[in-house]
Chains A and B, each alone.
Chain A
């Protein structure tokens, strides 16, 4: 899919959210500024969570959003390097819950987390505002 703006990325994500079910795990790939958090904001909107409450969990590792059709757990793994790190941010506990688990910087945990998941890749397009969004099921 091609998005030409942040708003369009959010709309694509919001539509994508309608197909999600309890416990789904989504890995995100994309550079800084690619629009990963924008996509998660759109997911939140699609789940019925106030999108303006969504911000990057870089410093807190995880932010939890309830009040929607399903809870949403939004992780940022930028500073995660080992299974111990994952353990002590409570990551595995979320996998046992009904929450949709959205993971930015999933590259950092792919070596040691084997769970069924979808991968959303966001790449820069032909101009500054354009993005190519690819969704794969793993």
Chain B
């Protein structure tokens, strides 16, 4: 099975090719916009491997949550290539893909991506030497709410582009945690490809390939609305 996989949901961009194993991966962590790096990376990787999009069986991509523009760049690339080559798409949660790099740890892995406004996109997984069990759906919540939820856990691992942000807040609150895979903040598309290979039966047509935006949490929005009203009154 051959898969071309993309991730550009967070601060980093990555492309990988899977052919029974991960045979190549490009990973970019700069301030360059993903629209400038993702397709040249795919082009370079495929040509270096002597492959074409038409040689693939599937196109995989992370479908969110994450940056509005980033999610759309990766999804558009995947949809366009799949449509052109007559392939199906496999969607992967960006948080699951982030947590996947910590699957050999033992404890609770909190995948976290910076959602701004004091919130993170988050999903938690019970991980034990290679097995991953999802504890909650992908969601957006305040960092403090995440800390309240997991503070009783024996061992918490943070992973994802929000890990450093959360670690600082965990430390301020006196709650222990470790950052997993700290040398690399973003998702490697090789992991996206590996997850896609395990879930090939979930492939859909490019037309049906859908983004998973997650809205900032309701409670937070109401609080913000109140704050804003207050603010507007002060201005008057």
Whether the pair B68, A83 counts as a contact (CB closer than 8 A) is no
23 A–B contacts, CB within 8 A, in A order? A81-B225, A81-B228, A82-B225, A83-B216, A83-B221, A87-B68, A87-B216, A88-B68, A88-B213, A89-B68, A90-B69, A92-B68, A92-B116, A96-B67, A97-B33, A107-B232, A108-B228, A110-B231, A111-B228, A112-B224, A112-B228, A113-B116, A114-B118
Bound-complex Cα distance A129 to B231 (A): 29
* Among A93, A108, A112, A114, residue most surrounded by chain B Cβ atoms (within 10 Å): A112
| Residues of A in contact, count (CB < 8 Å) | 22
Enumerate chain B residues within 8 angstroms of A111, measured Cβ to Cβ: 224, 227-228, 230-231
Bound-complex Cα distance A89 to B69 (A): 9
Bound-complex Cα distance A88 to B214 (A): 11
CB distance from B141 to the nearest CB of A (A): 13
Enumerate chain A residues within 8 angstroms of B68, measured Cβ to Cβ: 87-90, 92-93
Whether the pair B231, A107 counts as a contact (CB closer than 8 A) is yes
A15 at the interface (CB under 8 A from B): no
Whether the pair A83, B224 counts as a contact (CB closer than 8 A) is yes
Q: Which of A96, A98, A107 contacts B11 (CB 8 A)?
A: A96
Enumerate chain B residues within 8 angstroms of A81, measured Cβ to Cβ: 225, 228
Closest A-chain residue to B10, C-beta based? A96
Whether the pair A84, B221 counts as a contact (CB closer than 8 A) is yes
Enumerate chain A residues within 8 angstroms of B231, measured Cβ to Cβ: 107, 110-111
Whether the pair B224, A82 counts as a contact (CB closer than 8 A) is yes
Bound-complex Cα distance A81 to B125 (A): 34
Whether the pair B11, A83 counts as a contact (CB closer than 8 A) is no
Closest B-chain residue to A108, C-beta based? B228
Closest B-chain residue to A22, C-beta based? B31
Enumerate chain B residues within 8 angstroms of A92, measured Cβ to Cβ: 67-68, 116
CB distance from B6 to the nearest CB of A (A): 17
Enumerate chain A residues within 8 angstroms of B215, measured Cβ to Cβ: 84, 87
Whether the pair B31, A97 counts as a contact (CB closer than 8 A) is yes
Enumerate chain A residues within 8 angstroms of B33, measured Cβ to Cβ: 97
Enumerate chain B residues within 8 angstroms of A97, measured Cβ to Cβ: 31, 33
Enumerate chain A residues within 8 angstroms of B208, measured Cβ to Cβ: none
Bound-complex Cα distance A98 to B30 (A): 11
